[in-house]
Amino acid sequence: MSPTADLPGALPRARDLTEALVAAWDSRGAGYRPRTRHLLADGAPRFTNRLLLQASPYLRQHAHNPVDWRPWSDEAFAEAAERGVPVLLSVGYATCHWCHVMEEESFEDPEIAEVINRSYVPIKVDREERPDVDAVYMAAVQALTGRGGWPMTVWLTPEREPWYGGTYYPARDGDRGSPTGFLTLLQHLSGLWGARRVDVVAEAARLSQHVRASLSARASGGSLPGRERLEVATAYFQRAYDPRDGGVGSAPKFPSSLPVRLLLREHARTGEAALLQMATHSLRRMAEGGMRDQLGGAFHRYAVDRRWLVPHFEKMLYDNALLVPAYLEGAQASGDEALIGVAVEVLEDVLRTLTCSEGGFWSATDADSLDPSGKLEEGRSFTWTPEELAMVLGPEEARLVGAWFGVDRQGHLDGRSVLHTGRPLSALAPQLGVSEVHLRRAVERARPILLRARSQRPQPLLDDKVLAGWNGLMISAFARAARALGRPRYLAVAQRAADFTLRALRPDGRLLRSWRGGVRGHQALMEDYAFVIAGMIDLFEGSADLRWLELAVELDREVEARFEDAEGGGWYATASDHEVLLARERPSYDGAVPTGASVHLLSLLRLASLTGQDRYRRRADAGLASLDLSHPWALSEALLALSRRHSPTAELLIVCPSDRGEGAPLLDAVRGRFLPHLTALVVPSCEVERLARLVPWAEGRAAIDGRPTAYLCEDGVCALPIRDAEGLGAALERLGVR
Handedness of CA 125, 130, 133, 138 (dihedral sign): positive
Handedness of CA 635, 638, 644, 647 (dihedral sign): negative
pLDDT confidence of residue 490: 98
Strands of 64-194, DSSP E = 70-71, 87-92, 121-126, 152-156, 162-166
- The percentage of residues in the chain with a pLDDT greater than 70, rounded to a whole number, is 98
Instruction: Give the ranges where 120-159 is alpha helix by DSSP (H).
Output: 131-145
> Any idea which of 109-123, 526-540, 671-685 has the lowest mean pLDDT?
671-685
Helix, strand, coil % over all residues of the chain, rounded to 5: 50, 10, 35
pLDDT confidence of residue 36: 94
Average pLDDT over residues 49-62: 95
Average pLDDT over residues 323-334: 97
Which of these, 13, 107, 106, lies nearest to 53 by C-alpha position? 13
DSSP string, 306-356: TTS-SEE--EEHHHHHHHHHHHHHHHHHH--HHHHHHHHHHHHHHHHHSB-
653 contacts 716 by C-beta, under 8 angstroms: no
Q: Most distant CA pair in the chain: distance in Å? A: 88
476 contacts 491 by C-beta, under 8 angstroms: no
| pLDDT exceeds 50 at position 549 | yes
| pLDDT exceeds 60 at position 736 | no
Q: How confident is the model at residue 737 (pLDDT cuts 50, 70, 90)?
A: very low
Residue 274, sorted as left (phi over 0), alpha (psi -120 to 50) or beta, turns out to be alpha
237 contacts 632 by C-beta, under 8 angstroms: yes
pLDDT confidence of residue 589: 87
663 contacts 691 by C-beta, under 8 angstroms: no
- The percentage of residues in the chain with a pLDDT greater than 90, rounded to a whole number, is 87
In 3-state terms, what secondary structure has residue 617?
helix
Q: β-strands 709-714, 70-71: how paired?
A: unpaired
Q: What is the pLDDT of residues 238-294, one digit of tens each?
A: 999 999 999 998 889 999 889 999 999 999 999 999 999 999 999 999 999 999 999
Q: What is the pLDDT of residues 591-637, one digit of tens each?
A: 889 999 999 999 999 999 999 999 999 999 999 999 999 888 899 99
Handedness of CA 520, 524, 528, 532 (dihedral sign): positive
pLDDT confidence of residue 430: 95
pLDDT confidence of residue 460: 94
Which of these, 99, 170, 114, lies nearest to 463 by C-alpha position? 99
As a dihedral over the C-alpha atoms of residue 388, residue 391, residue 396, residue 398, rounded to 10 degrees, the angle is -30
pLDDT confidence of residue 5: 65
> What is the model's pTM?
0.95
In 3-state terms, what secondary structure has residue 642?
helix
pLDDT confidence of residue 738: 42
Question: Helix 468-485 crosses helix 317-334 at what angle (to 10 degrees)?
Answer: 20
Q: What is the pLDDT of residues 137-168, one digit of tens each?
A: 999 999 999 999 999 999 999 999 999 999 99
Q: What is the pLDDT of residues 181-226, one digit of tens each?
A: 999 999 999 999 999 999 999 999 999 999 999 998 776 667 899 9
320 contacts 477 by C-beta, under 8 angstroms: yes
Average pLDDT over residues 20-42: 90
Buried b (16+ CB within 10 A) or exposed e, 128-144: bbbbbbbbbbbbbbbeb
How many whole angstroms separate alpha carbon 194 and alpha carbon 187?
11
pLDDT confidence of residue 374: 86
- Sorted by where each starts, the structural domains of the chain and their CATH numbers stand as 15-215 (3.40.30.10), 368-459 (no CATH), 650-734 (3.40.30)
Question: Which of 421-425, 442-446, 665-669 holds the top average pLDDT?
Answer: 442-446
Q: β-strands 383-384, 417-418: how paired?
A: antiparallel
Query: What type of residue sits at position 179?
Result: P
Average pLDDT over residues 691-709: 94
